[in-house]
Amino acid sequence: MKRFLIILLVVLAVGTVLGENLVIKGSNTVYPAVQVWAEEFKARNPQVEISIEGAGSSTGIAALFNRQADIAMSSRWLKDSEIEQMNAQSRYFIPFVVGYDGIAIVVNKSLDIDNISLEQLRDIYSGKITTWNQLDPDLPNTRIAMFSRDNASGTFEVFVDIVMQGGRLAPQVQQLASTTAEVEQVRQNPSGIGYIGMGYITEDIKAISVEGVEPTTENVNSGLYPISRPLYIFVDATDGFPKGVVDQFIRLALSPQGQSMLLTIGYVNAYGMN
C-alpha cells in the first residue's frame, strides 16, 4: 500500500510538470513577438500548454492583478493608477523591456500621399482637418476616415502622448478593439488612415513617412523615427519571482535567439545586437 501511494505521488508530480500551463494576455502589438517565442518554446517543451490573448495592454495588466495571467504584454509603461493599485494591494510587478517598435501611420493604397508631419496628424485626429484636400490640394476632396485603437490599447496611449500631446481625439474617430480590425478598415476605405505597430504592416495598406522618416527597423533603432516606444512584459513577483515555465519563457525572449526573432517580424531587438 505504501509503495502504491509513493508511485501515485510520483505520477502526480510528473503530471503536474508535464501539464503545466502558461497564460499570457495583453497588448496586440506585443502579441506577434510573444507568438513567435511561444512557437519556439512549444517546440522545446511540447508538454506545456500556452494560451495567448491580445486584447490591449490594459487588459493584460488587469489580468495580472486578477491572477488570470502569468505574463502581461504591454506596449506602454504602467499608468499612475496601476502603480497606485499595486501599492494599495502590496503587489510587485517586474517589467522587462523585450524590444522596441515604431507606430506606423498607414493609409489606403489608393491615396497619393507618402509623408505626413506630426502637426498634420494632430490636426487630422483632432478634427481640425477633415478632408484630404485640406492637407494637400492634389489629394481628393473626400472626408478623411480616421481609425484608432480603443483606450485599452497601449498603442492608443503612446499615440495620444506623442502625436496628440495629451489632447483628445475627435468624436468622429472610429476606435477599434484590435489592430487587425484597424488594418482591415484602412484597406477597405479609400479615404482611410490609421496607426499600427510596425509588425502589422501588410502589402494591403501603405505605411507612410512621418516628418520625412520611414517606419523601418533601422530608423527606430537609431532613434530617428518620431513615433516609437519600448515593448514590455510584466510578471507578478509579489510572492517571489515566478519559476518554471514563466522564468524559462522570459529567458528565451531575452536570449540572443529570442531577440533575433524580433527582427523577422519587423520589430527592433532590445539586447544583444546592433
Tell me the pLDDT tens digit for each residue of 128-152: 999 999 999 999 999 999 999 998 8
Contact 144, 193 (CB under 8 A): yes
18-100+230-269 and 101-228 have identical folds: yes
Residue-averaged pLDDT of the chain: 90
In 3D space, the residue among 22, 271, 159 whose CA is nearest the CA of residue 262 turns out to be: 271
pTM for the structure as a whole: 0.78
Amino acid identity at 139: L
CATH topology of domain 101-228: D-Maltodextrin-Binding Protein; domain 2 (3.40.190)
What's the pLDDT band for 171 if we cut at 50, 70, 90? Answer: very high
Class in CATH terms, 18-100+230-269: alpha beta
Are 206 and 111 spatial neighbours (Cβ–Cβ below 8 Å)?
A: yes
d(C-alpha 217, C-alpha 50), whole Å: 28
- In this prediction, what percent of the chain has a pLDDT beyond 90? 82
Q: State pLDDT tens for residues 172-212.
A: 999 999 999 999 999 999 999 999 998 899 999 999 999 99
49 forms bridges with which residues in the sheet? 21
Q: Could you state, in order of their start, the residue ranges of all structural domains in the chain?
A: 18-100+230-269, 101-228
Task: Tell me, rounded to whole angstroms, the distance of Cα 201 from its chain centroid.
Answer: 13
Spatial separation of the C-alpha atoms in residues 229 and 223, rounded to whole Å: 10
